[in-house]
A = this chain, B = another copy of it.
Amino acid sequence: MPLAAELKSRGLPITRSRRAIAEFLDASTAALSAIEIIDHLHSQGITVNKTTVYRELDILEREHLVVELDMGDGLKRYELSPRQHHHHLFCASCKKVVCLPVEQDLGEVEKQLENQTNFKISGHDLKFFGTCSDCLSITGRDQDE
């Protein structure tokens, strides 16, 4: 179910801002920051105040429809709540975030760590960093062009 419909089914009114933000999140394969959402909407001629965007993201998070994602560059990003646990790949150049299926059972590792460290482990976060093929082909070109 699309985000907007999901919100509506929970009794939240579908306003123009809410619909625009929800649809952009639905349409995007990448995790989005508030700033990216604002810029995108403005480029579409839709004026939304940043406060509205931040508040909307809070609501979506509270409704567990999106989750916060931290790629370590100081921006909070949000992605649709994943059906299954996965990891991320982050392009240092264009900031694109690609989702990756889980490759190995880190849950096993967590149990081992609990025994070794006496921590109660609640989860993990595995990120890969690099440059995506798009950015590679751009930066790979002759700089004089």
A interface residues with partner B (beta carbon < 8 Å): 70, 72, 89, 91-92, 98, 100, 103-104, 106, 109-110, 112-114, 117-133, 136
Contact = CB atoms under 8 A, between A and B. Distances in A.
A132 B129 CA distance: 28
A132 B70 CA distance: 22
Contacts of A113: 89, 100, 128
Find the residue from A89, A128, A131 having the highest chain B CB count within 10 A. A128
Contacts of A128: 110, 113, 119, 121, 123-125
A131 B117 CA distance: 10
Contacts of A117: 89, 98, 100, 132-133
Contact of A127 (B91, B120, B124): B124
Contacts of A106: 126
Contact of A133 (B70, B72, B118): B118
Contact of A120 (B103, B123, B136): B136
A70 B119 CA distance: 20
B136 A129 contact: no
Given A72-B72, A89-B113, A127-B125, A119 B132 contact: yes
A119 B130 contact: yes
A120 B134 CA distance: 11
Contact of A119 (B72, B98, B127): B98
14 contacts: A70-B70, A89-B119, A98-B117, A103-B109, A119-B128, A119-B132, A120-B131, A120-B136, A121-B129, A122-B131, A123-B128, A123-B129, A124-B126, A125-B129
